Structure formats: C-alpha cells, structure tokens
Amino acid sequence: MSANAFVVNTSGAEDELAAENVALRAQLELYGRDINKTVRSLGGAIERLEIAHHQALLSLAKAAEFKDGDTGEHIVRIGVLSEHLGRLLGLDATFCEMLRYAAPMHDVGKIGIPDSILKKPGKLSEQEWDEMKRHPEYGARILSGSGVALFDLAAEIALHHHEKFDGSGYPRGLRGTEIPISGRVVALIDFFDALTMKRCYRDALSDDEALSMIKEGAGSHFDPELVNLLIANADDFIALREQINRGDVAVGNTSA
C-alpha cells in the first residue's frame, strides 16, 4: 500500500474553520456596534436622569426659599462655595460636584416649620425654639428614601448642618468627625454666607467681621481644618461669592 494513502487531506477542514472565524469576527463586530449604541443610549438617559435629579432638588430649595425668605443667590452660593471648599480639602471630585447640588437643600426642612415661628420678628420662646430645631430632621425625612445618591447626600446635609464640632449642636449632639464631612462643610459655608447677607432683622456683617467670628468658632462650632482653609483662601471665596451675586455663576455651571 502506498504511503500516500495515509496522508489526510485537511484543506477542506481548514477552509471551514477560516469561514467560521470570519463569521465569528463579523458577529463580534455586530455585537460591539450594538453594545456601543446601547452605552450611548444609556449614557444619554443617565445624563437626562441626573439633570432631572438636579432640577428636583433645586425646586425643593426654591420652595424652602419662599418659605424662609432667603434669596435665590443664597442657595446658589451655598452650593458653589461648598463645592469649592470640598475641592480645597481634597475630597473626591464627583463628591464635590454632588455637594454643589445637595448643599442648597440644607434648610428644606423649614417647610415644616409654622410661619408664626419661622418669620417671628422677636426672640423665640423655648417651645418655639424646640420646634425650630426640628427642621433638620424634617429635611432629612423629606429627602430620604429615594435610593438616589444625590438625594441621600442632601438628606445627610439637612440632618447634620446644625451639629457643632464640640458636640453642642443639634439634633443629635454629634462631635468632631462623628459629623459627616458634608455637614461640617455646609455648616461653615452657611454661617459665612448668612453673616454677610442682609436679613430682615439685621444688616449684613463685613467680610472681616464674619471671618473673625468664624476664627473664634474653630474647634467649637466648626471643624478647625475647614476654618483654616476658608481663612487662607478667603479672597477666593469672596470673589466667587461676588461672581454669583452678579449672575456670572449658576448652580448648574460646574466650571467655577
């Protein structure tokens, strides 16, 4: 028998395998295009959802603003300046951007406070003050339960922005780093901004007066590390505040 009889002809199998490879590559390319299309579609949907979340929070902030009589610029300043302080502290960039949108919700719980207390021109009675001090918990209840990270952060801020570094704040009397960093940041920024804006019951304080009071509160009212950052960069905060007052910076503009 010839030795050639034992040679197996594989050319047909190789051609079949090559054809399968071509078909597989084509299928993978098709899958790739479908995946890219799906990702682009999801990306657009996620972006629209994030915008809707931002708008919902801003609407809530405006509702609280009408109730409390604060200006629109105040809620923008709280968000933008809180983001700026967070970035100076070296916090995660995504977290800082979320601060910009969540911080304006700090007083949303005042929606639940009667006007007779909220807008009372004189000193509050002990009972009235006890009711006023419930607004952080009201705010947390309004904002909690959605499962959306931005709303959860806003609820955290609402609950903790009146806590003090030495434990003398409310509603829970937390001390030091027991207070979430979001609450510590917003507590300081809200205090600074509130002092330097005109209220129905007092004139605005000067920047120097406000910064002096903040310095005195380091370690008692405020996180001393945050106070040092604010004092060291006071000119930047003041300049950014004035940009907002002129309308050059909006809460949705992340370029500041």
Give the active site residue among 67, 110, 123, 133: 110
Contact 82, 100 (CB under 8 A): yes
What is the spatial distance between Cα 187 and Cα 182, in angstroms, rounded to a whole number? 8
Element of type H or E holding 79 = helix 72-89
Sequence-distant (6+) residues with CB within 8 A of 114 are 131
Contact 208, 200 (CB under 8 A): no
Closest by CA position to 232, among listed 85, 81, 100, 92: 85
Q: Tokens at residue 176, please?
A: 């030091």
Question: What is the Cβ-side half-sphere exposure of residue 14, based on CA atoms within 13 angstroms?
Answer: 4
**Active site annotation includes 120:** no
In the numeric block, the tokens 């028998």 are attached to 1
Positions annotated as catalytic residues are 110
